Amino acid sequence: MSTKLNSFTLPDDVIKKMKSKIEESRLKDAEIGFNLCTTNGNLHDENLCIGTECAVDIPKGCSRGKYVGLFHTHPHSSSKPSIQDIANAYQIGINCIGSTDDMKIKCYIRKESIPTRKDLETIIAALVRYEYPLHLSEYPEEDIKNYQKLINVRNDLTKTYLNTVEVI
């Protein structure tokens, strides 16, 4: 059954493709994603990417319709957004994440219709302060104190700036 994401409709065929990409991601042990584009309020997928080309952002652009978001998988992880994912959702409008751990798809949608520079700067500052250092750490799982701060900040940013819709 299709899902409403604010003024957009995520049709069954795109949801099925998302589910298949979660399974493919699990098998290939790689992130897989695609752009979400809209024509008359219905979302469709374009510009598939696999592996490191999906790691930060999917190339923008739609051959038909308007670019409004993206979908990507989290291999070996939940469908909760990283701070980079929160920043992408806030800038673009929609960021859907599929988890290979629980096979769920969650879409994160910017609460405001237009992003503000101040809010984006707040999200980017958190990214630089909390997420980047753990990515650069040789043993991030051993830095429990900073990892817990990251989780708390990530949860606060998600609640403040995004609405969450569980697709499956």
In a domain, 129, yes or no: no
pLDDT on residue 76: 85
DSSP 74-117: ETTS-SPPPHHHHHHHHHHSEEEEEETTT--EEEEEESSSS--H
pLDDT on residue 117: 94
Q: In CATH, what number is assigned to the domain containing residue 99?
A: 3.40.140.10
pLDDT on residue 105: 96
Residues of the chain with pLDDT under 50: none
Domain that holds residue 82: 3-112+162-166
**Element housing 66 (H / E):** strand 66-74
C-alpha closest to that of 111 among 158, 67, 161, 41: 161
**Element housing 15 (H / E):** helix 12-28
Q: Is the pTM higher than 0.75?
A: yes
pLDDT on residue 150: 84
pLDDT on residue 129: 87
pLDDT on residue 83: 92
pLDDT on residue 168: 80
| 123 in Cβ contact with 81 (< 8 Å) | no
Domain count, the chain: 1
In a domain, 119, yes or no: no
For 17, 43, 78, 84, 137, the CA distances from 39, given in Å and listed in that order, are 18, 7, 30, 27, 43
In a domain, 140, yes or no: no
In a domain, 17, yes or no: yes
